[in-house]
Amino acid sequence: MSDAEAVLQRLIDALGERVDLAPESRQAARADKSGHAASGTPVAVVHARSVEDVQATLRIASETRTPVVTRGAGTGLAGGANAGDGEIALSVRAMDRILEVRPDDLLAVVEPGILNADLNAALAEHGLWWAPDPASRAISTVGGNIATGAGGLLCAKYGVARDAVLGIDLVLADGRLLRLGHRTVKGVTGLDLTSLVIGSEGTLGVIVGATLKLRRLVPGEVCTIAATFPDVRTAAVASAAVTASGVQPAIMELMDAASLAAVHALLSLEQPTPGAAQLTIQTDGPASAVEADAIAVVLRAAGGVVAVSHDREEGERLLAIRRSMHPAMETLGTTLIEDVSVPRSALPAMFDEIARVEREHGVVIPTVAHAGDGNLHPNFIFDAVPDEFGVVDTPEYIWAAADDLFRAALRLGGTLTGEHGVGVLKRRWLADELGEDQWELQRQITRVFDPQGILNPGKVFGA
C-alpha cells in the first residue's frame, strides 16, 4: 500500500462517507473564483460536519505529514484555498449552524460554514446584524470572511471582519482545539491570538467556530445618493472631499466608465454617458437625511450630477448595479480580479496610475472602489480559453501590468490587499510590502502553530 493509499484508508476508517473521492469533487477543490488552480488533484475531499471530524482529519494529517487545505464555499479570489497534488481538501462548508444568539450581549456563536447572508437573515429576527458586507455575501462563508479578513461595502463606517470577531475556536495542525478570545466587550489577557488568526488564510489552524460581535439594526431611514461625473478622476476627488467633510456615509462605492458600462449592458439598462463615472453613496441612522443632503452639496461642488433617494428599495436597486460588477466583468473576457488599498486622499492619484498602466501595458483595467475606505478592485481583462473546470493561465503580460500597479499602490502608501488576501497570487510581492525582516518573522510565527508546515503549504509565504 502506498503512502497516499494508507492515508486514505485511515481517513475512511475514521470518517467514513465524509471522505469524498469523486473525481469531480477533487477537481472542484483545485480552484476558487480567482481562476487559478493548484497543480494536480487532492487525494480526497473531507466534508467535516463537526469539530471532532476536523480534529480527526488533522491528527491523521499530522501523523502522516500530509498537507491540508481548508475550504469553505470556494469563493476566494487569491487562490488561497486551492488544494493540489498529495493534499487533503478539508471542507467545513457543512458546519453551518448558528450555535447561540445572545441579543442582550450582542453576540452570536456560529460554525464557519454558514453563509454571510444566511447569518444576517437569521439575526434580523432578533433585530441584530453582523456588519461585514462583502459583495459576495450571498455565497461566501463567515469562516472564509474571517480567514481572509474580508471587508465589503460597509467597512468605512462599520469595520471589517477583524472589528466584528470576539473569539475563534481553532484546531491546530496536530488536532488540539484552542478557544481564543472572549465573550466580553473588553479583554486584554495575554496576546491577542484572535486577531492574529483573522486574515491568516488557513496557515495557523482550522477555524471551527467564531464568537461574533453583533450590532442592533440601524434605526431610521436609508438615503441613497447617485452622482455621475465626467471622468473617474473627478469622481475620486469628490469621494475624497466627502471623507474630508467629516460626514460618515455607510456606503460609498465608485465605478469607473468601463465597469459602469459593462454592468449597464449586463442588466439591460440605458448606457451611461461615455467616459462617465458614478459614485453610489448611502447614509443610515436617525441623521441620514441631513447627512445625505450635506454629501449632495459636496458632490455638486465637485462637479457631480446628483440625485438623492429616500426610498430603501430604490437604494437597493442602485446598489445592485455595484453588486453586479463581477458577472459583468465575465462578459468582457477572462478577468484577473485584484485588490489594492491606498489612503483615501490618494484615490485620485491611484486612478491616475491605473490609467498609466493601461496605456503603457496596452491592457484594459475596469475598476471599482470602496471609496469610503480607499480599497480598489482593478480588473485585468484578457482573452483566454478556460479549461473544463473554468481555470485559466494568466499570461505574463498581465502579470507585468499587475506588478506595475501593485508597486504604484505601495508607492502611494497603500497595501497589496485590502480584503481578498495573499493566497498564491500575491505571495511574490509580500516581502516588498512587509520588508524581509517582518516577512521572516511572520513566516516563523506560522511554524510555531504548525511546526511541520502542513497547513495550506505554498500559500501566503510560499513553499
Question: Residue 57 is part of a domain; what is its CATH number?
Answer: 3.30.43.10
Residue 158 and residue 206 in one domain: yes
Question: 380: closest CA among 438, 424, 425, 442?
Answer: 425
115 neighbors 73 (Cβ within 8 angstroms): yes
**Position 76 in a domain:** yes
pLDDT number for residue 106: 98
**Position 399 in a domain:** yes
pLDDT number for residue 316: 86
Residue 368 and residue 421 in one domain: yes
pLDDT digits (tens, 9 = 90+) for 228-247: 999 999 999 999 999 999 99
**Position 458 in a domain:** no
Residue 228 and residue 189 in one domain: no
Domain endpoint, select from 71, 91, 111? 91
pLDDT, mean over the chain: 94
How far apart CA 319 and CA 278 sit, in angstroms, is 11
Residue 293 and residue 343 in one domain: no
pLDDT number for residue 2: 67
For the segment 135-157, the average pLDDT, to the nearest whole number, is 90
Domain endpoint, select from 148, 183, 216? 216
**Position 455 in a domain:** no
For the segment 207-217, the average pLDDT, to the nearest whole number, is 97
pLDDT number for residue 420: 92
DSSP string over 105-168: TTEEEE-TTSBHHHHHHHHHTTTEE-----TTTTT-BHHHHHHHT---TTHHHH--GGGGEEEE
**Position 456 in a domain:** no
Grid cell in block for residue 157: 463606517
Number of domains in the chain: 4
**Position 327 in a domain:** no
pLDDT digits (tens, 9 = 90+) for 312-343: 888 888 888 888 888 899 899 888 999 999 99
Residue 109 and residue 198 in one domain: yes
Residue 82 and residue 103 in one domain: no
Per the listing, cell 502579470 goes with: 399
Grid cell in block for residue 329: 466583468
Most confident of 129-133, 348-352, 382-386: 348-352
pLDDT number for residue 119: 97
Give the H/E segment covering residue 200: none
- pLDDT greater than 90 at residue 390: no
Q: Which domain holds residue 79?
A: 3-91
Grid cell in block for residue 140: 461566501
- pLDDT greater than 60 at residue 1: no
Query: Residue 125: phi, psi to the nearest 5?
Result: -65, -20
Grid cell in block for residue 23: 473525481
Q: Is 69 helix (H, G, I), strand (E, B) or coil?
A: strand
Residue 234 and residue 314 in one domain: yes
Residue 317 and residue 228 in one domain: yes
Neighbour-count burial for 112-131, b at 16+ CB within 10 Å, e otherwise: bbbbbebbbeebeeeebbbb
Least confident of 40-49, 155-164, 302-311, 318-327: 318-327
For the segment 41-52, the average pLDDT, to the nearest whole number, is 97
pLDDT number for residue 124: 96
Question: 69: closest CA among 392, 430, 424?
Answer: 424
Q: Is 187 helix (H, G, I), strand (E, B) or coil?
A: coil
Residue 172 and residue 261 in one domain: no
Residue 369 and residue 274 in one domain: no
**Position 457 in a domain:** no
pLDDT digits (tens, 9 = 90+) for 402-424: 999 999 999 999 999 999 999 99
Domain endpoint, select from 216, 245, 277? 216
Give the percent of the chain with pLDDT over 90: 85
Residue 239 and residue 279 in one domain: yes
128 neighbors 103 (Cβ within 8 angstroms): yes
212 neighbors 98 (Cβ within 8 angstroms): no
pLDDT number for residue 392: 74
How far apart CA 82 and CA 392 sit, in angstroms, is 14
For the segment 420-437, the average pLDDT, to the nearest whole number, is 95
